[in-house]
Structure 1
Amino acid sequence: MATPIDLGRPVSGDVVELILNDHRLFETLLRDLRDASSDRDAVRRAFAQLHVAHALAEEEHVYPRLRRREAIGEHEAEHGEEEHAEGNEALLAVLELEATEGEEFDDAVEELATTINHHLTEEELTILNPAREEVSERERNELGQTFATARNQLIEDGCGSLEHVRQLVADARERGVLESS
């Protein structure tokens, strides 16, 4: 699912800075989702691509490496994954709406923004700060290249499709990460 919105394609850098750059892009996209004059359909598709790619790359590459380096504990990694699942669930509600205006859309965007902003704050405080302090610059740069490669490939593969987000939410419910609705 291509999007006309540039999500960037970093190829290297400090993993903490790459993640923070995505966090700032999430905030911009959320602001654009709230803007009735923007192409909200394009914005929600771009948000979906970025959110899913970012979360999967973190869960597959970043969290396990930080746990092995003892920069974060198992609780922080599991909590991050739970919050990614909650973000996917809120994102699914936005993606499933046909109209991109009206109270129902606005309410879904508000829930998405609340969920994502909570996660960004917690991750920056409980995962990224310890990574800065406990992981060497060389290792953060190696991890940054791995994260960027995975993130970019997932975006290229269209990981933010409605069908894929539905499957991620269903899988999280099945694993007990999310409550069944």
Structure 2
Amino acid sequence: MSSDVVDLIMQDHREVERLFDKMREFPDTRPLAAPVLSALLIAHSRAEESAVYPAAKDEAGDTEEVAHSQEEHTQAEAMLKRLVETDPESAQFGEVLAELEDAVTHHVEEEESTVLPHMKEHLSEQRRMELGEAFAASRAEHLGERPGEATKEELKWQAHNVGLTGASSMGKAELAKKLKAKTG
């Protein structure tokens, strides 16, 4: 198995797509599949935000794309929080699931057509392997976290990724509020 960060990210994308397909096609799997989807999306997002996006922004020059991707992560996390708080057997669950799937699919398509190819082009194979190790370690560390429960340090990474200045001098609540205002 490759430890190139681009390959690892794309593997996660395929697994997320598989989980969406499963929950859409087999609604009886939703009570068990939704927590798995949530855990994977949160761990994946946190790992990208701390280990990948700073390198994509600072080393590969993808400042605008990273800021946009960070905004999409923030929006998807809010949708994911709604999903895990919704009864998997309700009609509303299907609506929230469809909204989340559309948002995540859009994000994946953009990331795989801009950020990831730029990383392949502008970062050496050795650097992508280093980032792959950091991504995998961060993802493992964040497995089991729930949407809406980012730490101040994680919020600071998100602020860096969207170009929000002054994050280190803000309290966690103020930082979360500023990020929400910036990312819509």
TMscore range, shorter length: 0.7 to 0.9
**Unmatched segments (≥5 aa) in structure 1:** 1-9
Residue 97 of structure 2 corresponds to which residue in structure 1? 109
Q: Per-residue deviation at 1:177?
A: 3.5
- TM-score, normalised with respect to structure 2: 0.80
Q: Per-residue deviation at 1:135?
A: 0.8
| Residues 35 and 124 (structure 1), Cα distance of their counterparts in 2 relative to 1, 3 Å cut | same
Which residue of 61, 81, 85 maps to 1:92? 81
State how far apart, in whole Å, the 2-side matches of 1:174 and 1:95 are: 24
Deviations 1:62-104 (A, max 9, x none): 01112222x232211111110001111111121111x212421
**Equivalent residues in 2 for 1:10-89, closer than 5 Å:** 13-69=3-59, 71-89=60-78
Which residue of 101, 122, 131 maps to 1:143? 131
> Which residue type is aligned with residue 92 of structure 1?
K
Identity level (%): 34
Give the total of aligned pairs: 161
State how far apart, in whole Å, the 1-side matches of 2:67 and 2:105 are: 18
Q: Per-residue deviation at 1:61?
A: 1.1
State how far apart, in whole Å, the 2-side matches of 1:173 and 1:111 are: 23
Deviations 1:96-145 (A, max 9, x none): 11x21242111111101001000000011110011111111111011100
> Which residue type is aligned with residue 103 of structure 1?
A
More helix by share: 2
State whether residues 72 and 127 of structure 1, in contact with CA within 8 Å, keep that contact through their aligned partners in structure 2. Answer: no
| Residues 58 and 110 (structure 1), Cα distance of their counterparts in 2 relative to 1, 3 Å cut | same
Residue 148 of structure 2 corresponds to which residue in structure 1? 166
Residue 109 of structure 2 corresponds to which residue in structure 1? 121
